[in-house]
Amino acid sequence: MIVPVLFELFRMYQVPDAVRMQLCVGTSLAIIIPTAWRSCRAHAARGLVIPEVLRLWTVPVILGVAAGSLLAAVAPAGVFKIAFVAIAGLISTKLLLGRESWIIASELPGRAAMRGYGFVMGLASSLMGISGGSLVTMFLTLYRKTIHEAVATASGIGVPITIAGTLGYALAGLPHQSQMPPLSIGFVSIIGVVMIAPISSYVAPLGARLAHRLPRRVLEIAFGSFLLLASARFLVSLLYPGT
């Protein structure tokens, strides 16, 4: 949710379109660090995190994030908008139209495949500016994990993704420092982090408790609808640069 909000704020402050999306992604990853940490602790306290997934994915997701950070240093902004539209569109389709019968297998794949999936999760998350929650949740539910197990495990994966992503985007944006707004380190806006991170971190445990109380379908429809709206916004920006 943070990237679309930052995109509008940075547009108001006339951040050049060539770097605006990268700045949104990097700042979003930094903002999510405390939120991911608190959310992870809240979910872990309920005993629903899947340890095997965390163990197999931690290193691959960091490598994926590193690859995304390298792209941020050289790729045009359109790449990140396309990535957001494509990934968010895929997730929202699964959430809104998917059925419980949409299952790949009853058990998680082997270690080699899991590590490959982990790399993809890290790469996609770093391109989209998220902690990987929606992607990991979708993946795990396709392997018959409950929505609550999936959300809890995704919160744990978000910690290494956001830390590695913040460092990567800060370094990737240094060559573009002259185009950044004041108080930015590479593609990370300190002002954006200070304004949003404390509030999002504070309400993260509330969101975790709410997620465990709401029915699965309510969670799917709410988040899927938001992703469709966000995708439409970035699609407009792709068609009409500068908007």
Q: Tens digit of pLDDT for each residue in 66-75? A: 999 999 999 9
Which pTM does this prediction carry? Answer: 0.86
Q: Does the pLDDT at position 90 exceed 80?
A: yes
Q: What are phi and psi of 44, to 5 degrees?
A: -60, -35
User: What's the pLDDT at 125?
Assistant: 93
Could you read off the pLDDT of 5-49 as tens digits, one per residue? 899 999 988 899 999 999 999 999 999 888 888 777 777 777 778
User: What's the pLDDT at 168?
Assistant: 96
Q: In one letter, which amino acid is 122?
A: G
User: What's the pLDDT at 208?
Assistant: 67
Do the Cβ atoms of 203 and 38 come closer than 8 Å?
no
User: What's the pLDDT at 153?
Assistant: 87
pLDDT: is 87 or 242 the higher one? 87
Task: List Cβ neighbours of 136 (8 Å cut-off, separation of 6 or more).
Answer: 53, 121, 150, 153, 154, 157
Could you read off the pLDDT of 173-188 as tens digits, one per residue? 999 999 999 999 999 9
Could you read off the pLDDT of 206-230 as tens digits, one per residue? 776 777 677 878 877 888 888 888 8
- Residue 199: count of CB within 10 angstroms of its CB: 11
User: What's the pLDDT at 70?
Assistant: 94
User: What's the pLDDT at 150?
Assistant: 85
Euclidean distance between CA atoms 21 and 26, whole angstroms:
9
User: What's the pLDDT at 121?
Assistant: 94
- Mean pLDDT across the stretch 160-168? 95
pLDDT: is 229 or 1 the higher one? 229
* Torsion sign over Cα 199, 204, 209, 210: positive
- Mean pLDDT across the stretch 51-64? 93
Q: What is the DSSP letter of 102?
A: -
Could you read off the pLDDT of 105-139 as tens digits, one per residue? 888 999 999 999 999 999 999 999 888 888 898 89
- Each domain of the chain, given as residue ranges in start order, spans 2-239
- Under the banding of pLDDT at 50, 70 and 90, the label for residue 233 is confident
